[in-house]
């Protein structure tokens, strides 16, 4: 088949048909958008529902990143993904499940975190996922063990590919550049008005970085607001803008042209809804989860509840589009 007859596998490939990156679709695009009434007063609130995005045993925002990470791992010739997280990591589980479906092994370095019912259930899923698990009492201990884990998992002369927590490297962030282009298409076709603000939780930054780059690429004036829910490393606007720049650099290296520059002024982050630490439900996030349950939305208080608490507190310019990123099955 001549190249021009091959259907593009992404909106990014539609824009640059020669783009030298692969995407394996793991969910059904576009994820739906709809008006959300009765949750937050005094704002025109919309939701983009990422909670069903995924064709495997897991959905939500990790899947968008894996669509680009899985083929890139194959291109690099490695059969093993090595990544890290807490013992309740959603990211690690999605990596293990989708990686396994696509012939990749996953090695997980897990750090202890306070155990509640959710974390206990998540750990049981991780144990059943086929991933190789290594548990440590602290991040320091995991850091010390990481080189040994990498060397021990060399296969056929290939090192495992190290993916940072949350899959937030330049490759993973492409998933949310694609999502931003999807939102732009939905605006163009009249499914929703151009959002003035898109609100998401920030756990490792790839979602916000990809969105900020994607909106600029698409020529939307939409600004990203990220409610930071992780206090393990800095996730302010300059950090997110740097990740967006690394993502743009990767696109340029692989054949994309005329990429915009994302600067810290293009987005805003705040940790006012974090609570005492990462993973800690706050009264405000718990209240939003309960309110959402009354509307038939199943959320959790660590990411989505905190993003909604931000929308409740801040008078963002509307229309506001909230990303529902919570995706267990
Ligand atoms: C449900 C949910 N929402 C949002 C996020 C934030 O995404 P990111 O890690 O790309 O900042 C995460 C992951 O950290 C998540 O699990």
* Per-residue pLDDT tens over the stretch 172-194: 999 999 999 999 999 999 999 99
Is the dihedral angle over the CA atoms 325, 216, 250, 20 positive or is it negative?
Answer: positive
How far, in Å, from the CA of 203 to the mean position of ligand 1?
A: 5
What is the SS3 assignment for 48? Answer: strand
Dig out the tokens for 25 from the structure.
């679709």
For residue 6, the model assigns a pLDDT of 56
Q: What is the distance in A from the centroid of ligand 1 to the CA of 230?
A: 10
- Dist. CA 115 → ligand 1 center (Å): 19
State which ligand 1 atom lies nearest to the alpha carbon of 200: 4
**Contact indicator for 171, 250 with CB cutoff of 8 Å:** yes
Residue 278: per-residue pLDDT: 86
314 Cα: distance to centroid of ligand 1 (angstroms): 20
Quote the CA–CA distance of 89 and 95 in Å, as a whole number: 10
- 30 alpha carbon to ligand 1 midpoint, in Å? 19
Distance 206 CA to ligand 1 centre (A): 8
What is the spatial distance between Cα 77 and Cα 79, in angstroms, rounded to a whole number? 7
Q: Which residues sit opposite 108 in a β-bridge?
A: 83, 133
Q: pTM higher than 0.75 for the full model?
A: yes
Mutation pick for ligand 1 pocket among 176, 235, 303, 327 (CB with most ligand atoms within 8 Å): 303
Q: Give, for ligand 1, the residue of 63, 173, 204, 328 to mutate: max count of ligand atoms closer than 8 Å to Cβ.
A: 204
Does residue 28 contact residue 59 with C-beta atoms inside 8 Å?
A: no
**Overall average pLDDT of the 29-46 stretch:** 96
Looking at the CA of residue 230, tell me the nearest atom of ligand 1.
Answer: 14
pLDDT computed for residue 1 by the predictor: 43
Give me the pLDDT at residue 7, please: 63
Give the whole-angstrom CA distance, residue 182 versus residue 28.
Answer: 12
Write out pLDDT tens, residues 54-66: 987 788 889 999 9
Average model confidence (pLDDT) for the chain? 94
Alpha-carbon distance of 56 to 328, in angstroms, equals 10
Kindly state the percentage of the chain with pLDDT values over 90.
Answer: 88
Residue nearest to atom 4 of ligand 1 (CA): 201
Pocket of ligand 1 (CB under 6 A): 60-61, 90, 166, 168, 201-207, 303-304, 325-326
CA–centroid distance, 201 to ligand 1, in Å, is: 6
The whole-number pLDDT of residue 283 equals: 97
Please count the other Cβ atoms lying within 10 Å of the Cβ belonging to residue 170.
Answer: 21
């Amino acid at each position: 088949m001549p190249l021009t007859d091959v259907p593009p596998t992404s909106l990014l490939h539609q824009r640059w048909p020669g783009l030298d990156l692969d995407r394996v679709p793991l969910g059904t695009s576009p994820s739906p958008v709809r008006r959300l009434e009765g949750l937050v007063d005094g704002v025109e609130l919309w939701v983009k529902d990422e909670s069903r995005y995924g064709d495997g045993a897991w959905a939500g925002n990790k899947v968008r990143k894996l669509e680009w990470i899985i083929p890139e791992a194959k291109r690099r010739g490695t059969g093993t993904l090595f990544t890290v997280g807490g013992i309740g990591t959603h990211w690690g589980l999605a990596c293990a499940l989708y990686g396994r479906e696509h012939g990749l092994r996953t090695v997980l370095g897990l750090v202890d975190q306070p155990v509640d019912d959710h974390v206990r259930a998540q750990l049981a899923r991780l144990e059943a996922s086929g991933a190789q698990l290594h548990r440590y009492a602290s991040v320091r201990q995991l850091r010390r063990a990481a080189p040994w884990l990498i060397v021990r998992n060399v296969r056929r002369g290939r090192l495992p590919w190290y993916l940072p927590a949350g899959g937030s490297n330049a490759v993973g962030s492409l998933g949310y550049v694609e999502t931003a282009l999807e939102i732009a298409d939905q605006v163009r076709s009249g499914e929703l008005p151009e959002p003035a603000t898109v609100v998401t939780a920030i756990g490792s930054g790839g979602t916000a970085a990809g969105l900020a780059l994607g909106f600029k690429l698409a020529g939307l004036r939409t600004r990203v607001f990220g409610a930071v829910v992780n206090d393990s490393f800095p996730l302010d606007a300059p950090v997110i803008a740097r990740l967006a720049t690394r993502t743009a650099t990767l696109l340029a290296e692989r054949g994309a042209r005329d990429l915009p520059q994302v600067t810290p002024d293009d987005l805003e982050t705040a940790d006012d809804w974090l609570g005492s630490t990462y993973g800690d439900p706050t009264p405000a996030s718990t209240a939003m989860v309960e309110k959402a349950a009354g509307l038939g939305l199943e959320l959790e208080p660590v990411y989505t509840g905190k993003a909604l608490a931000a929308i409740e507190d801040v008078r963002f310019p509307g229309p506001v589009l909230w990303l529902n990123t919570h995706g267990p099955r």
